[in-house]
Structure 1
Amino acid sequence: MRVCYAKFLPHDFLECHTNDAINVLKSMRSAFKWFEEFFPRVWELSFYSVLLHDLGKCASGFQKNPQKWGYRHEILSTPFTAFLDLPENERNLVALSILTHHRTLDEIEEILPSKEHREEFNEKVGELLQNRDYIEEIFFERIPYWELYFFGRRKGVFKPPANWTDQIGNYDFDSLLSWYEKNTKKYWNELIFLRGILNASDHLASASELGIRLLSDIKTAVELRVSPERWRPIQRQAGETEGNLILRAPTGYGKTEAALLWANRNAFRTKKGVSSRIFYVLPYKASINAMHSRLLALFREPELVGVLHSSSGFYLYSSELEYKRLSSLYRKIYTPLKVTTPFQLMKPFFGVGFPEMGLTELTGSLLIFDEIHAYEPNILGIILAMLELLRERKVRALVMSATLPEFLEQLLRDVLKPNLLSTPPEEADRFTRHRVNVIEGSMDDIEELLTEIHADGPILVACNTVSRAMDVYSRLREDYKAMLLHSRFTYGDREEKERELLANLNDYDIVVATQVVEVSLDISFSTILTEPAPLDALIQRFGRVNRRGFGKPQDVYVLTHGSDGDKRIYPIEVVKESIRLLKELDGKPLLESTVPKLVTHAYEPLSSKLTDEVRTYYEQAIDLFKDLRPLKSNESERRFYEMFHGLEAVPGAYQDRALELIKQGMSIEVHRYFVPVPLWLYASEHEVFHRLSDSGPGKYVLVAELEYSSELGLQREPRSGGEIW
């Protein structure tokens, strides 16, 4: 008798892989009991989906060489569902989940055997039956024991007749497709869950994981960091609040601990721990990485705290973690707490990747949004639409901010119907850390302006654009020990600069930086001189001065004029109103209790327009998401990548090094040489970009033939001697 393998290199017997996948399924059933409220038969039907999903791999051609076989094993697995003693609708649900567990229905239906064209299918069924002895004597014989293990009793649902080999070849795929077209809306949830759970079970079993992870008690972890007698009132209140919540509190007040205590109160639990999936959502990679490191210190195991963004693999690699294994696991229903961008949560709603698995994981989850004010109206609209639809899936959300304008709070309240918590004014004012000074002028006068500022340590000079920061740094570097920090350095150079600042900040007179300094480094400057910006952005920048809040408020300095490039970044009306408000506070402390109202006033000139924009994007997203069809590819997937796909390029000076690393099989190291490239720069200078040859099958590395140095970063000038394509 031949054996049948489900996986190769390393080899894994079909019955062993099936057993592993059933173990994962059993772990999920124990953790996600509330799924039954959406779909009472979810676990029984999922069991039979997992049981039969890979039987088609017994075809002799697959066993000889799966890469060269040229057929889809799912097509051969699906007919076995005909032998399930279940109502027709349930059999079809199981069949569709198996048929689409690797490819979407529209991708695979082109090669499905119709009644008229079955020659290739019959040939592959013949290959399958060459291993009939294994199927009957090994696989079929184990099914009652798998049922006993999973259900606690033998159910006898799978009943292949004596002539089962004839019936496999006669399976009616046309009727299955017809049933799908007629019943998609009626069984939308069931199709989502069955494909999502099968994908999760299959993927984790293939990764040699036999179950999902749960968090231990969150409250206990927080207590180990901050003893309960030192909890602030708002932290205690958050831990007692059930349901959606908007939380306002000053920077440094302990919002993260408050969010975790809220999650502890609202989570689903089993005897083994917290089973709800928790997503901590932040807008910037740097702040995501910092939060991941912070939460990992709290929960200790990297399997419990994940990180997801476009370059999280390199972050894990740089952190000396098991980046290949963990990057894979974090994209599955495995890790209970993930720090991520909103774009990762949006993917299932746009049909990206395995959307059914994403929607399944989001069901019953807890979403924590920090710094939600930082998003553009289109992103806010999509987030609101996502939250609206997730309310129906037992999802709860916490939104927290120190600088949330009222127009945005109202939009959130309309969708979430939340509880509201805010720090009492007298308590907030204890965190007053800054005294505002408004200076007439611009960075054109930087040399003279610095003579008017008295500082006892390093000064932060904050610019709105990279080009402005480069110019200011170039003028100061001769007379001061200065460093330049912005977003257009390679990841390797930026990592080195940040490491240097963390270790030796006091050795520098001045650090010239763009907005990257608002979210990346946990360091404290003696003061700041900044270009004008919206008030919420300015407050984030002020947060780099007197970070711990000790002693009296420290001076911060705001210029009245920026540069022409600012209008590409910030709404000018909001910037002007922000400066007008700060002029009224000139020379006075910026009381923390006044920050929410000040931010609201700053946005008043555009609040109506921004509200309309957000609502328009919200309505468009709702319409788009409601058209999502389970198991099918979606036009919205293309739109997602058009809207949110960022660009990264290797400076021309490093392209030979990048190619060498790729040839050595060290592609992860190439990431050190990537520079984020804004789309406007790519559009305006597209003639200096080209693809690196030989960067691998199906992959490419973008090269920017622009001047680059580790001191200044990627510049706008074409590279000397660089080839223009």
Structure 2
Amino acid sequence: MRPCYAKFLPHDFLECHTNDAINVLKSMKTAFKWLEEPFPRVWELSFYSVLLHDLGKCASGFQRNPREWGYRHEVLSAPFASFLDLPEDERNLIALAILTHHRTLDELEEILPSGEHRGGFEDKVEELFQNRDYIEGIFFERVPYWELYFFGRRLELFNPPKDWSERVRGYDFDALISWYERNVERYREELVYLRGLLNASDHLASAGELEVRLLPDIRTAVELRIPEERWRPLQRAAWNTEGNLLLRAPTGYGKTEASLLWADRNAQRTRKGLSSRIFYVLPYKASINAMHSRLLGLFKDPALVGVLHSSSGFYLYSSELEYRRLSSLYRKIYTPLKVTTPFQLMKPFFGVGFFEMGLTELTGSLLIFDEIHAYEPNVLGIILAILELLKGRRTKAMVMTATLPEFLERLIEETIKPRKLQAPPEEADRFTRHRINVVDGSMESIEELIEELKPEDGPALVACNTVSRAVEVYSRLRDDYSAMLLHSRFTYGDREEKEKKLLSNLNDFDVVVATQVVEVSIDVSFSTIITEPAPLDALIQRFGRVNRRGFGNPRNVYVLTEGGEGDKRIYPPEVVRRSLGLLKELDGKPLPESKVPELVTLAYEPLADRLRGEVLEYKAQALELFEALMPLRSGENERRFYEMFRGLEAIPGAYQDAVLELLTRKRYMEVHRYLVPIPLWLFMSESDAFHRLSSTGPGKHIIVAELEYNQELGLLREPSGGEVL
């Protein structure tokens, strides 16, 4: 009797891989009890989906060489579902999950045996029958024992007849697809869960993992850092809140710990730990990386705390973690706590990738949104649509902020009906750290202002609204001061080096010139800030880089009244003007933390109705789009997602030879060090300067920017070899 393998290099027997996948499914059955509420038969039908999903791999052609075989093993596996003593609808659900566990129905359309076009399929069934001894003597014989292991009893529902090969050969795929088209709306959720759980079980088993991970008691971990007697009132209130929560508290209050305590209260538990999947959602990669590092310090094990964003593989690589293994696992139903962008949450709703697995993981999850005010109306609308849909999936959400306009707070309230917690004025004002100074003028007079301030206990931060203005200001200051320039248009490698240098040698600098990246980036405290005008919530984020822990001892911060021409591309002028007017009323006075929510609301008042309307319009569009998503199929939504949200990145022309060398040596992760984020407006306005890398291999999609680049100033708008203005 010849063995049958499910995997090659290294070889893995089919029965071993099936056993591993059943182990994963059993761990999910123990952990995710809530899935039984919308789908009472979820574990029974999932078990048989996992049991039979790879049986088609026993075809002799697959066993000889799966890469050259030229057929889909799942097409041969699906007919075995007809041998289950179950109602026809349930057999069809299982067959469809098996049939689509690698490819969607539309991707399989051309090869599905249909009508008279069954010759190739019948030949493959004959190949399957060539390994009949293994299938009957090894695989079929193990089924009762797998049932006993999974259910605690033998169900004896799988009963293939003696002429099973003839029955497989005659399986009616047309009838199966016709059933799907008639019943997909009725069984939408069941199809999502069955494919999602099968994909999760198969992928984890293939990765060598036999169970999903559970989080240890969160409260215990938090208490190791902050003993219960030192909990602040809102932290204690968050821990006592069941259900959705909206938390307002000043920067530095301890909102992260409050959110973890809320998650501890609302998480589902098993004897081995907390089984709820928790997503900590932040808007920026830099703040996500920092939060991942912080939570990893709390829970220690990188298998418990995941990180997901478009560059997370490079972050893990730079952090000297097992980036290949962890990057893969973090995209599966494996890690109980993930720090991520909202775009990763959006993917399943747009039908991106194995979206049924993502929707299954989000069912019953806990979502923590930090800094939700930072998103554009289109992203906010999509987030609200997701929260609306997830209400029916037992998902709970917590939104926390220091600077949330009232119109946005009302939108959140209307969507999730949260309990509201807010620091009392007297408690909030204990966190007052800044004294407002409004200075007439622009960055043209920055030298005189710095000379007048003479910061002595650390460098001053000069915050500019655009990269071009930051480069211009830095170029004027660098001859007279020890200065550093920090903005988004450095390569990832150069920016990482700059941030490390600043963290380790902060007091070596007199001044740091930066754009908005400093609002969410490194955790350093400057002596003061001189900033161009911006919306009040953005200014408060910038002020947060001054006197970060000096509560009760306000430091001077300086806001200029004039910005640059390019500011209109970034910020609404009405909000900027209103913000300046509000700050002038506080000129020379501390900014009370208790007044921040009211002031931010007033700043956005001129645009509140328009922004609310935009958010609601995007929410309605997203709901319509999401409700049209069909399980087991791919569609236009995935393309639209990438058109809307895929960020542009390019390598400076000066580095293309170095990148080609890395690609030749297969050091693909190192290529990321040479990438620079490119705003769409720059790509469009300087389109002649961009081209594809001259590579036919893995680098063929890399964009090259033939623009001037140097490690001191970053990527400029000058053509390569041009003079820096």
**Could you say whether these structures have the same fold, taking a TM-score greater than 0.5 normalized by the shorter chain as the test?**
yes
CA drift of 1:571 comes to 0.6
1:87 aligns with 2:67: no
Match of 2:411 in 1: 411
Match of 1:682 in 2: 683
1:485 aligns with 2:475: no
Q: Alignment partner of 1:214: what SS?
A: coil
CA contact (8 A) 1:458 1:527 kept: yes
Match of 2:377 in 1: 377
Deviations 1:448-498 (A, max 9, x none): 222332422310000000000000000110111100000000111001100
Structure 1: how far apart are the matches of 2:699 and 2:502? 39
Match of 1:129 in 2: 129
Q: Which amino acid aligns with 1:243?
A: G
Distance change (3 Å), C-alpha of 1:132 and 1:721? farther
List aligned pairs for 1:399-478, cutoff 5 A: 399-456=399-456, 457-478=458-479
1:140 aligns with 2:140: yes
Match of 1:544 in 2: 545
Q: Which amino acid aligns with 1:464?
A: N
Unmatched tracts of structure 1, length 5 or more: none
Deviations 1:636-682 (A, max 9, x none): 11100000000111111111111101111101011111111111111
CA contact (8 A) 2:663 2:699 kept: no
Structure 2: how far apart are the matches of 1:408 and 1:13? 55
CA contact (8 A) 2:431 2:552 kept: no
Structure 1: how far apart are the matches of 2:422 and 2:326? 37
CA drift of 1:110 comes to 1.9
Deviations 1:23-52 (A, max 9, x none): 000000000011000100000000000000
Structure 1: how far apart are the matches of 2:696 and 2:687? 20
CA drift of 1:11 comes to 0.8
CA drift of 1:162 comes to 1.1
Match of 1:573 in 2: 574
Structure 1: how far apart are the matches of 2:82 and 2:388? 38
Match of 1:553 in 2: 554
Q: Alignment partner of 1:452: what SS?
A: helix
CA drift of 1:697 comes to 4.6
CA contact (8 A) 1:490 1:674 kept: yes
Q: Which amino acid aligns with 1:352?
A: V
Match of 2:628 in 1: 627
Distance change (3 Å), C-alpha of 1:409 and 1:721? closer
Match of 1:10 in 2: 10
CA contact (8 A) 1:695 1:701 kept: no
1:596 aligns with 2:613: no
Structure 1: how far apart are the matches of 2:490 and 2:722? 21
Match of 2:364 in 1: 364
Structure 1: how far apart are the matches of 2:85 and 2:413? 48
CA contact (8 A) 1:212 1:333 kept: yes
TM-score, length-scaled by structure 2: 0.99
Structure 2: how far apart are the matches of 1:86 and 1:549? 67
Structure 2: how far apart are the matches of 1:17 and 1:687? 52
CA drift of 1:446 comes to 1.6
CA contact (8 A) 1:54 1:74 kept: yes
Match of 2:280 in 1: 280
Structure 1: how far apart are the matches of 2:235 and 2:474? 42
CA contact (8 A) 2:461 2:526 kept: yes
Structure 2: how far apart are the matches of 1:271 and 1:182? 42
List aligned pairs for 1:211-290, cutoff 5 A: 211-290=211-290
CA contact (8 A) 1:659 1:695 kept: no
Q: Which amino acid aligns with 1:583?
A: K
CA contact (8 A) 2:46 2:197 kept: yes
Deviations 1:514-560 (A, max 9, x none): 00000011100000000000000000000000000245200000000
CA contact (8 A) 1:662 1:695 kept: no
CA drift of 1:693 comes to 2.0
Structure 2: how far apart are the matches of 1:25 and 1:349? 24
Q: Which amino acid aligns with 1:127?
A: E
CA contact (8 A) 1:219 1:261 kept: yes
CA contact (8 A) 2:663 2:698 kept: no
Structure 2: how far apart are the matches of 1:645 and 1:143? 45
Q: Alignment partner of 2:338: what SS?
A: strand
Structure 2: how far apart are the matches of 1:148 and 1:266? 33
Q: Alignment partner of 2:335: what SS?
A: coil
CA contact (8 A) 2:280 2:339 kept: yes
CA contact (8 A) 2:693 2:699 kept: no
Unmatched tracts of structure 2, length 5 or more: none
Indicate the RMSD between aligned Cα atoms, in angstroms: 1.0
Structure 2: how far apart are the matches of 1:552 and 1:196? 53
List aligned pairs for 1:37-436, cutoff 5 A: 37-436=37-436
Structure 1: how far apart are the matches of 2:77 and 2:207? 21
Deviations 1:142-201 (A, max 9, x none): 111101110111111000011111101000000000000000110011000000000000
Q: Which amino acid aligns with 2:72?
A: R
Q: Alignment partner of 2:505: what SS?
A: helix
Q: Which amino acid aligns with 1:674?
A: L
Deviations 1:319-365 (A, max 9, x none): 00000000000000000000000000000000001110000000000
Q: Alignment partner of 1:202: what SS?
A: helix
Match of 2:656 in 1: 655
1:720 aligns with 2:721: yes
Structure 2: how far apart are the matches of 1:623 and 1:552? 51
Distance change (3 Å), C-alpha of 1:96 and 1:673? same
1:507 aligns with 2:508: yes
Structure 2: how far apart are the matches of 1:60 and 1:446? 76
Deviations 1:49-105 (A, max 9, x none): 000000001111111111111110010001111101100000000000000000011
Q: Which amino acid aligns with 1:607?
A: A
Structure 2: how far apart are the matches of 1:691 and 1:20? 43
Deviating above 3 A after TM superposition, structure 1's stretches of 4 or more consecutive aligned residues are none
TM-score, length-scaled by structure 1: 0.99
Q: Alignment partner of 2:453: what SS?
A: coil
Q: Which amino acid aligns with 1:639?
A: R
Distance change (3 Å), C-alpha of 1:695 and 1:535? farther
Structure 2: how far apart are the matches of 1:288 and 1:6? 37
CA contact (8 A) 1:434 1:589 kept: yes
Structure 2: how far apart are the matches of 1:693 and 1:454? 51
Deviations 1:677-718 (A, max 9, x none): 111111111111111122625852111111000000000011
Structure 1: how far apart are the matches of 2:4 and 2:561? 74
CA contact (8 A) 2:101 2:199 kept: yes
CA contact (8 A) 1:53 1:74 kept: yes
1:643 aligns with 2:644: yes
Q: Which amino acid aligns with 1:684?
A: S
Bigger shift: 445-454 or 227-236?
445-454
Q: Which amino acid aligns with 2:488?
A: S
Deviations 1:177-231 (A, max 9, x none): 0000000110011000000000000000000000000001110000011000100
Structure 2: how far apart are the matches of 1:615 and 1:47? 41
CA contact (8 A) 1:246 1:421 kept: yes
